[in-house]
Amino acid sequence: MTPSATILYIEDDEASRSLVQRLLRAAGYEVLIAGRALDGIDLARRHPPHLILTDINLPDLSGRELAVRLRTEPALAGVPIVALTAQSHAFERHMTLAAGVSGYITKPLDVAAFPSQIAAYLAGRTEALDEAAREPAQRAYNQELVERLEAQVRELEAHNRDLRRLDRIKDDFIQLTAHELRTPLTTVYGYSRLAQSSPAIERVVAEDAEVRALLTGLIDSVERLHAVVNEIITVARLASGRVDLKISPLDLAQIMGRVVADYRPAADQRRLTVSFDPDQWPRRMEGDAALLELALSNLLGNAIKYTPDGGHITLRAEYPQPGRVRLSVQDSGIGIDPDEQRFIFDRFYVAGDTQLHSTSKTAFRGGGLGLGLAICRGVVEAHGGAIWVHSPGCDPARLPGSTFYVELPLRREQRSP
Ligand code: ADP
C-alpha cells in the first residue's frame, strides 16, 4: 500500500460513493470525489491523482470515454484508471479495457479484498486484453461512441428548435406589447406636447416652481418612454425584415449636421468636442433619410455616452471606392472589449459594466436597452451597407476609444449583393 497516494473516485451514485470513500480512507488513501466525468477530468488536471477509480455509467461521458480522454493528456496518460462497475459481462469488460482502462472491478464490492486490489493497481498491475478479443471489443466501442454522438446531436438539434421557437415567441411578445403601449402613449405624449405649448399652463409654470418641476419631470419621462417604445418597434421591424425603406435623394451632410446640433447641448455640458466637417460628407445620395438619421444619431449618442467629460469625438466621411461612402464615428471613450465586439450589434446586448465611466447613462434619452446598435445594423444592412467597430479594448482608466464604421452605397442600384 502507498499510504500517501491520492485516489480520484468518479461516481454519481451517492451510496456507492460513501461506501468506497469510507473503505479507501480507512486504508489510508486520500480521496478526491467527482459526480460527473467532466468534473473528474477538471479535478484530475488540477490535482493529478495516483489512481483514478471510475464508474462506467456516468451522467455525461461514460467511464470508457473518460479513459480515452485522459490517455491523451501527457500529465495523466500514465495514471492507472480502474473501472468499478456493475457491468459484469465479459464483452463490456473487453470494451472497457480496449478504451485504455487498466483494471476492472465488478460490483458488488468484495469489501475485504478491495484495499489489496487497489494496492495492486497502484503498484502497476494492469489487466491485459488478449489479441483475439481486442478487435471486436474496439469495434463495439467505436459503435457505442457513434451511437451516443448521434443521440446527442439529435438532442441538441431538438433543443435548438425549442430555443428558436421560444425566441420567436419572445420577439412576438415584445412587439405586441410595444404596439399595445404605443396607442395610449401617443395620446399621453400628444397631451404633454399640448401642455408645453398651452399659454395658460405656461403662465402657471412661470409663476410656480413646484408645478414647473412636476411638469418637466412628467414630460421628460413621457418622452423617454415614447422614445423607448418607438425604439423597440423600430428594432422589431428591422429584425423581421419587414422594413419598407422610403428611398429618396438626400443630403447626408445636412442630416449629420442636424444630429450634431441635436447633441450640441449634451456635448457642451460635458465639455466634449465634436469635429465634423460637412464638406467631407455626401450632399447627394439615395436612402431613407429618417432611418439614416436615426442610425447616425444612435452612433453619436453612444460616442457621447461612453466618453468621459472633456473627450473628443470625430466624424469622418471617406470614399474607399467609387459609389460608396465610409462614415466613421471615433471617440476617446472607454472602448469595447474585443470579446464583446461581435455581440454589441445584437438586440438587447449591453456590454460590460456601463456604470464604470463618469457619465450617467440615464442622463441621455433612449439609451440603456441595448437596442441602439441593433437599429444601426438593421438600417445599414437594409440599405445594402455594412457596419463594424474597431477598438483596442475596454479600459475606463486609459480610455482607448472606439471607432464605428458605416459603409453605404451612394445610389440604390449600387447595393452590394
Ligand atoms: P445601449 O442602448 O445600451 O447604449 P447599444 O446597442 O447602443 O445599447 O450599445 C450596446 C453596447 O455597446 C452598450 O451597452 C455599450 O456597452 C457598447 N457601446 C456602444 N457604443 C459604444 C462606444 N462608443 N464606446 C464604448 N462602448 C460602446
Per-residue pLDDT band for 414 (boundaries 50, 70, 90) equals low
Q: How far is CA 130 from the centre of its chain?
A: 50
Highest mean pLDDT: which range of 130-144, 180-194, 291-305: 291-305
What pLDDT was estimated at residue 352?
Answer: 61
- pLDDT tens for 350-382 read 776 544 444 444 343 334 678 889 889 999 999
DSSP type of residue 398: T
CB 7 near ligand 1, within 6 Å: no
Residue in 330, 336, 391, 399 to alter for ligand 1 test, most ligand atoms within 8 A of Cβ:
336
Average pLDDT of the chain, as a whole number: 89
If residue 165 lies in a helix (H) or strand (E), which one and from where to where? helix 131-197
What pLDDT was estimated at residue 364?
Answer: 38
If residue 249 lies in a helix (H) or strand (E), which one and from where to where? strand 247-250
If residue 380 lies in a helix (H) or strand (E), which one and from where to where? helix 372-382
Per-residue pLDDT band for 233 (boundaries 50, 70, 90) equals confident
CB 308 near ligand 1, within 6 Å: no
Which atom of ligand 1 sits closest to the CA of residue 375? 6
DSSP string, 34-96: ESSHHHHHHHHHHS--SEEEE-SS-SSS-HHHHHHHHHTSTTTTTS-EEEEES---HHHHHHH
Residues above pLDDT 90, as percent of the chain: 67
Q: How far is CA 222 from the centre of its chain?
A: 32
Distance 29 CA to ligand 1 centre (A): 54
Per-residue pLDDT band for 21 (boundaries 50, 70, 90) equals very high
Inter-residue contact 116 to 23 (CB < 8 Å)? no
Inter-residue contact 333 to 302 (CB < 8 Å)? no
**Mean pLDDT, to the nearest integer, of 227-251?**
84
**Mean pLDDT, to the nearest integer, of 306-335?**
96
Highest mean pLDDT: which range of 84-98, 255-269, 401-415: 255-269
Contacts of 401 (CB under 8 A, 6+ apart): 307, 330, 331, 332, 333, 335, 391
What pLDDT was estimated at residue 366?
Answer: 36
What pLDDT was estimated at residue 308?
Answer: 94
Which atom of ligand 1 sits closest to the CA of residue 298? 7
Distance 26 CA to ligand 1 centre (A): 59
CB 393 near ligand 1, within 6 Å: no
What pLDDT was estimated at residue 368?
Answer: 66
Per-residue pLDDT band for 275 (boundaries 50, 70, 90) equals very high
Please name which of 60, 67, 71 lies closest in space to residue 82, comparing C-alpha atoms. Answer: 67
The x, y and z cell numbers of residue 8, run together, are: 480520484
Question: Amino acid identity of 321?
Answer: Q
DSSP string, 279-347: GGS-SSEEEEHHHHHHHHHHHHHHHHHTS-TT-EEEEEEE-SSTTEEEEEEEE-SS---HHHHTTTTST
Distance 306 CA to ligand 1 centre (A): 7
The C-alpha atoms of residue 199 and residue 202 are separated, in whole angstroms, by 5
Residues above pLDDT 70, as percent of the chain: 94
Whole-angstrom CA distances from 211 to 191, 214, 220 are 16, 5, 14
What pLDDT was estimated at residue 114?
Answer: 95
What pLDDT was estimated at residue 54?
Answer: 97
CB 370 near ligand 1, within 6 Å: yes
- pLDDT tens for 149-169 read 999 999 999 999 999 999 888
What pLDDT was estimated at residue 363?
Answer: 41
Residue with cell 469489501: 111
What pLDDT was estimated at residue 1?
Answer: 47
Residue 50 forms beta bridges with which residues? none
What pLDDT was estimated at residue 3?
Answer: 53
What pLDDT was estimated at residue 334?
Answer: 94
Distance 68 CA to ligand 1 centre (A): 45
CB 344 near ligand 1, within 6 Å: yes
CB 61 near ligand 1, within 6 Å: no
Contacts of 18 (CB under 8 A, 6+ apart): none
Q: Which of 69-73, 320-324, 364-368 has the lowest mean pLDDT?
A: 364-368
What angle in degrees, to the nearest 10, is found between the helix axes of 131-197 and 63-71? Answer: 90
| Cα R_g (the chain), whole angstroms | 33
CB 232 near ligand 1, within 6 Å: no
Strands 247-250, 386-390: pairing kind: unpaired
Distance 192 CA to ligand 1 centre (A): 30
